[in-house]
Every structure is written in structure tokens, then in C-alpha cells.
Chains A and B, each alone.
Chain A
């Protein structure tokens, strides 16, 4: 018996010595060496080196699942109804509030990165009925992984080039947001390819070269999930994308920022930046786009150093053993176990989901109220500007003030509306912004009523949905029809487009 036990004990002893004395390394990322070219931009080229990462990347193709307020079905955001075209949480006034701006033609819920180029080429915001897209090549900036190459080739001339000229160069799958946007193809180290992020960080003193791994796990997302604008030629390369961050990352500061960087001579708004002039209220407007990074950075998670990747790229063990970062960017509510429970290990998934919805429900309710008052503000200024009776002595000044409040009120709700977490990334901030938005828009209504000595007040009484019905349908094609433009009071402020046929179907010329 001893003859059997002794070797066993010895073996255990040796096993213990051999394996049990290893030092545990610092959390140092594994290093890679590929044989890929430094300028490689085809997503498929990375597949053979990183097959399981690529497998999770392809999971972005699932666009069938919704969560309560988020998800991946690309429904029209203003349409109320059933999926896949509409949804129960809709913002019915979006087309009204963006009248005269391309966003009134089409604006859908975002879905996986793998669809970025497809959806860019399919959207009605870019004019596919003309040789001129009407929007610059800057629109490629956060969709195409060929942009680093284009910037190399054309420099700052790239931004103002014709958007359509690059359509045919794009493969819908190989050139959509992919590996090279965040990774150095040779070493796979995290990298920032975005021109506007590099320049914005330089201006506000963030040193990218010394960024920690934790910071980079958010910065790679901040390349695109931020508010931006296209540069006015007066200030440098035309249509170059800029992040308006030099005064701060919050809406009050961004609003102050946009009191510059424009070239308008309009009274009361001299030198202010203008995205478009709302034709109904004749207001110089600001459009806000997906400020995820700005919303997150001082929220409960962001301020605690919890990165975008912590929740959106949780570690998964596809082979049941080694961890890799999931490259499926979607709502973490679809995988609470992996995303949330790695920190909130003492909570149940249902509890965590309810906490998310707790914030989102309240944010959503106030967002809709803010949009209703915003519509009322546009309507009030429209009525006031057309009012023929006896005006206030300071009519012109009051109308300038009213339009400034419309601009601010709308910029504020847009900050929350365009942000993709329905308040969760920063619940207190989201609700504060919406409260302020409601105040600013109401001030606009007040100024407009005062300017007319309250003569327009009776026209603004009652349910706003009856005074100004939501515009349910609008598109470039519909704007070619007089009948459509006559169908809503607000649409009558738009010019009729020339009849035209589609020239582009995705990346192919059809005419």
C-alpha cells in the first residue's frame, strides 16, 4: 500500500512546487504581432488572426432585439406604433422640430457597427436624388474605416469633398466600422484614428500618448459617440469635424461655445454658429448628435472610472476558458450577467434592470414634455412674427430673445434625446438638462406673447397636439410634392423640391 501512496504524495508535492509558485502578473495586456500591413482597412483581413473576436464582432448583425427603451431594431424614432417601423417609445414631434433640416427626412434608431456603412448609404438625409449629396465627406468620418486612409491621402481637403464620389469605393461589410478604427493592425494596440478627437484632446490638454489603459477603453468610443459640428470656412478647413469642448463637456458650456465659430451677421446672433435656420420660427438652430461620452464622463459610472468597455465589451469565454473582450456593441441589458454582475455581484439581473428603467422612465417622460414645449415655442414665435395687430414697443428685441430661448431650449432636449442611454449614463444630469430645456422653451413662449401684447395667447391655449399636429411623414421624395407640403401648416414654410429620381442605391449608381 505504501508503495502506491508514496509516489502519489510525491507527485502532488512536485505538482505543487512546479505549478504553485508562479508569480501573478500585473494586469498586463497580451501582445500580438500580425503580418498585416499598417494601413490595412479591410475587416475580413483580421478574421484569420482573431477568429473568436471576429465572431463576436459579427454578432452586431443581430438587429432583432429591443430592450425596454433601447435595442437594435432600426425603427423610425418619431413613429409611434409597432416594430420594426415604429416603437412604443417614440418622439412624435421630431420631424416638426427638425423641419428644414435633413434629420426631418429620416432618423432611425442606431444598430450594430456592422451596418454603419449600409445605413449611411441608405439614409434619406444625404441627397440620393442629386449628383451633390448636399452634405460633405465629413459624413464618412465615423462610419467608414477608410477614413484614416483618406485623411492620409487628401489631408484637410477631404472633408469638403463630394460625399457621393466615395460611395463606390466602399464594400458594405469590409469597410464599415471595424478593427482598424480602434486597433493598430500590426500590434493590435488600442489607438485613436479620429482626427477631431486628437485635436479636441490637444486643445483641452488631454495627453493621448500617456493615456492609461482604462482611459483608452473609453477614448476609443469617444472618437465617434460625441457631439460634433462641421467647421465654418472662416475658421479653417471647410467642413472639418470639430468637437465643441474647449469651454467644457456639458450643454451650458457647449451652448456658450456655439456663441462663436459661425459667420452669420444676423442681428442678435452675430458670429454664432448655426446648423440650420428653422423655417417655421425663423430661429438659428443647433443640432446635437449622440453625446454619449459627454453624458457619461461625469455620471455615477464615468466619474468612478468605469469605462465604456466595462459594460459594452464585457469579458466572455467563448471557448469556455480564456477571456476575450466581447466585440458586440449593444445594450448591456441584453447581457446583464456579463456586464453588470462583474461588479454588482450581490444583485440579481432583474433588480439591476429595474434600476436602469427607473431612470429611463422618468427621463423619457420629461423628454416628451420638453419637446412639446419646444414645439409650442416655435409656434408662438411663428404666430408672433406674423401678427399684424399692435406690437410691443420692444418687439424686435423680444423676438430676438424668444428665438435665442428656442435655440437653447431645443439644444438642451436634443442633448438628452440624441444621447442613447435614455438618461442611464447620467440620470441626474439628464433630468437637469430637460428641466432647463422646459424653462428655456417656456421663456421663448413668454417673450413671443409679450411681443404681441399677449394677443397670440388664445391661439396657444389647449392641447399642443391639436394646435400643432405631429408630422408623421416627410422625406426628400415627399418634399417634391405640393400636395404633401400643403398637408401641414408647418410644411408650408418649406420650398418644393424639383421632381427627381434616385441616382444612388447604396454603393451603386442606378442612373
Chain B
């Protein structure tokens, strides 16, 4: 009896410990993989990270804009997007010019309003996307190419 109790006690402790490590690890990983340093580890993302770093949003994470904010949708969105990007980068083909998907455009737009709601509180915004007016925000895509891209990326 005594022995069994000790085993189950240490087992519970071990599971708890593993649980804490796992949760902390997952939390850390979630945060790390939100950031430009991680996203920019694939060369095809250099342009996006480069222009992000020069922008007013440089101190934010990529995924402050590029994934939904609530935890559950964020998890599923991130998993799907990450899998798709890894597939494109390894077995698939990368497009000549990379564009945001319709889903991403919506997610990004929701995140605009999430942070900037107070600014637009008293006005009606009529264009479909905030970036239809704030056009430099999508990675300064009106800059001459030489300021954004080089070969071999």
C-alpha cells in the first residue's frame, strides 16, 4: 500500500513536471515562431522581413499581423500555414511573385482593426481593406525593386 502510494505520487509529480516543461516549451515555441527572426530563416521570406524591419511595425512580430489573435484559431491557422509553407519550400514550387492569400488578407485586416480600433472609432471605413489606403504597409511594395530584392533568395 505504502509503496503504491509513493509510486503514484512520484508519477503524478513526473507528469506534472513534464506538463510544465511541455507547456513552457510550447509557449516559447509559439512565441519564437511568431517572430521575424524565425520567418526570415527561409530565403524566400528575406524581402518580407527586410521591409518589415524598415517599417514602423518593425518591433511587432510577423504573426501580430499574419495569424488570428485568439488562441484556438491561431493554433490551427499557424499549423496549416506552416505546413503549407514547408511543403512549398521543399517539395513544391515557389511562385515568381509571392502574394497573400484571401484568407491571409482577412486575417491581417482583422489585426489592423484589433490594434487601431480607437483611431477609426468615429469614422466609417468604406474600402474593403485598410491597406487599400495605407498602401506602404504591405511590405512597401511600391518601392523600386532594388531596394527590396536581390537574386538568389
Q: Is the CB of B38 within 8 A of A310?
A: no
Complex contacts, B38 vs chain A, CB 8 Å: 16, 19-21
B103 at the interface (CB under 8 A from A): no
B130 at the interface (CB under 8 A from A): no
Provide the bound-state CA to CA distance between A21 and B37, in Å: 5
Contact digits for B27-59, partner A, Cβ 8 Å, 1 yes 0 no: 011001101111011011010011001000000
Contact digits for A292-311, partner B, Cβ 8 Å, 1 yes 0 no: 00000000000011110110
Q: Is the CB of B43 within 8 A of A214?
A: no
Complex contacts, B49 vs chain A, CB 8 Å: 24
CB A182 to nearest CB in B, in angstroms, measures: 14
Provide the bound-state CA to CA distance between A503 and B115, in Å: 77
Contact digits for B58-98, partner A, Cβ 8 Å, 1 yes 0 no: 00000000000000000000000000000001001111110
> For chain A, what secondary structure do more than half of its interface residues adopt (helix, strand, loop), or is it mixed?
loop
Interface residues on B, range: 35 or more
Provide the bound-state CA to CA distance between A472 and B64, in Å: 66
A393 at the interface (CB under 8 A from B): no
A205 at the interface (CB under 8 A from B): no
Q: Is the CB of B44 within 8 A of A341?
A: no
Closest partner residue, chain A, to B46 (CB atom): A24
B18 at the interface (CB under 8 A from A): yes
Contact of A27 with B41 at beta-carbon distance under 8 Å, contacts A16-B33, A20-B33, A309-B145 already known = no
8 Å CB contacts to A: which residues of B89-127? 89, 92-97, 99
Q: For B25, B131, B146, which residue has the most chain A Cβ atoms within 10 angstroms? A: B146
A119 at the interface (CB under 8 A from B): no
Closest partner residue, chain A, to B14 (CB atom): A2
A266 at the interface (CB under 8 A from B): no
From A214, A324, A345, give the contact of B147 (CB < 8 A): A214
From A2, A304, A307, A345, give the contact of B138 (CB < 8 A): A345
Q: Is the CB of A16 within 8 A of B92?
A: no
A322 at the interface (CB under 8 A from B): yes
Q: For A20, A30, A324, which residue has the most chain B Cβ atoms within 10 angstroms? A: A20
Complex contacts, A12 vs chain B, CB 8 Å: 29
Complex contacts, B97 vs chain A, CB 8 Å: 314-315, 337-338, 341-342, 345
Interface residues on A, range: 35 or more
B7 at the interface (CB under 8 A from A): no
Closest partner residue, chain B, to A311 (CB atom): B145
Provide the bound-state CA to CA distance between A126 and B148, in Å: 45
Q: Is the CB of A321 within 8 A of B44?
A: yes
B5 at the interface (CB under 8 A from A): no
Q: Is the CB of A30 within 8 A of B152?
A: yes
Complex contacts, B6 vs chain A, CB 8 Å: none
Complex contacts, B26 vs chain A, CB 8 Å: 9
Q: A13-B28, A342-B141 are in contact. List 7 more A-B contacts (CB 8 A).
A: A16-B32, A24-B53, A306-B144, A307-B144, A307-B146, A321-B89, A324-B151
Q: Which residues of B contact A (CB under 8 A)?
A: 18, 22, 25-26, 28-29, 32-33, 35-38, 40-41, 43-44, 46, 49-50, 53, 89, 92-97, 99, 131-132, 135, 138, 141-153
12 inter-chain pairs at a CB distance below 8 angstroms, sorted by A residue, are A9-B26, A22-B41, A27-B50, A27-B150, A212-B146, A307-B145, A315-B151, A320-B92, A320-B94, A325-B151, A341-B97, A342-B141
